[in-house]
Structure 1
Amino acid sequence: KRRFRMPVKTERITILGTPEFKAFLASEAKRQGISISEFVRRRCLGQPADEEEELLLKLVEEVKEATKRAKASLERGIRDAEHVIKELRNECN
């Protein structure tokens, strides 16, 4: 069966800006491979730009690695402390 899609209703929105701002919008949209309208929609809806998303993903990976290192360090510290406590107990007996 063939399904027909209902057309999406859209309305034109006009904003005023400097030529530099328009050039910025066009440049960012082109860099992301999307239209200016789609770029503005995504940003207004709070969707991160591609570079922001990449930066966030890198940051998450760095935090994961730092957490692994911190956990290992804490575990070593606990083992060392347990060893010292054991030695102190043996000396007291």
Structure 2
Amino acid sequence: MDRMNMLLSATHLLNCEANNLIEEASDVMIAKGLLLGNLKKLHNDFVKCADRYFNEFASLVTTDKCKMDMFDDLQGFDESFRKWAKVPIEWYPRILDENK
């Protein structure tokens, strides 16, 4: 049971991170008018499926302490992952110097 708990916890943490990154990317695509056609449909399908997954997983987390521990773990993981992946939380396009 301990092994199963560790695997499911790690999987949930990865799913949360992936979902957050997908949503961030889709926000950028929407802002630039790039979330179109089949990509938009697939994204919407993913969001619906992810919502079902996260709602079901939430039913397994019953105490406020467990919920707060999960959010603390996610925040720490997000910071470490973004540093490793070189994807900062705040990102702005590089301003090109037109005088060069």
TM-score in same-fold range (> 0.5): no
Q: State TM-score, norm by structure 1.
A: 0.32
Q: Which has the higher contact order (CA 8 A, sep 6+)?
A: 2
Q: State TM-score, norm by structure 2.
A: 0.30
